[in-house]
């Protein structure tokens, strides 16, 4: 019976939160845009060499919110134009 309860249950399991790179946190999140294509990515800015780690393409504000949520952070509108 438990199998049927799981199939018909409306409770959805939430995705596990991702772990940011070692030593980096919410303050290290940055966006970067390409000068030739205009493509924007968001990720963690490495303090050592300035590279963008765990970069994800951004097409809308919802993508930025999803990136923050996937790491367990709350988006505060930092990158709104």
The pTM assigned to this predicted structure is 0.77
The dihedral of CA 70, 66, 73, 58: what is its sign? positive
The rounded Cα 69 to chain-centroid distance in angstroms is 6
Structure tokens at 81: 């134009």
pLDDT in tens, 21-63: 999 999 999 999 999 999 999 999 999 999 999 999 999 999 9
| pLDDT score of 4 | 55
Is a pLDDT exceeding 70 seen at residue 6? no
Where helices occur in the chain by DSSP H, the ranges are: 2-8, 61-70
* Bridge pairing between strands 40-45 and 29-33: antiparallel
| pLDDT score of 3 | 58
Q: Are 44 and 24 in contact (CB under 8 A)?
A: yes
End-to-end alpha carbon distance in the chain: 52
């Amino acid at each position: 019976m438990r199998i049927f309860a799981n199939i018909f249950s409306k409770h959805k399991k939430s995705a596990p939160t991702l772990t940011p790179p070692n030593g980096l946190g919410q303050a290290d999140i940055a966006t970067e845009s390409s000068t030739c294509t205009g493509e924007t990515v968001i990720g963690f800015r490495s303090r050592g060499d300035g590279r963008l780690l765990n970069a994800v393409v951004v097409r809308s504000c919802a993508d930025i919110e999803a990136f923050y949520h996937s790491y367990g952070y709350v988006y505060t509108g930092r990158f709104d134009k």
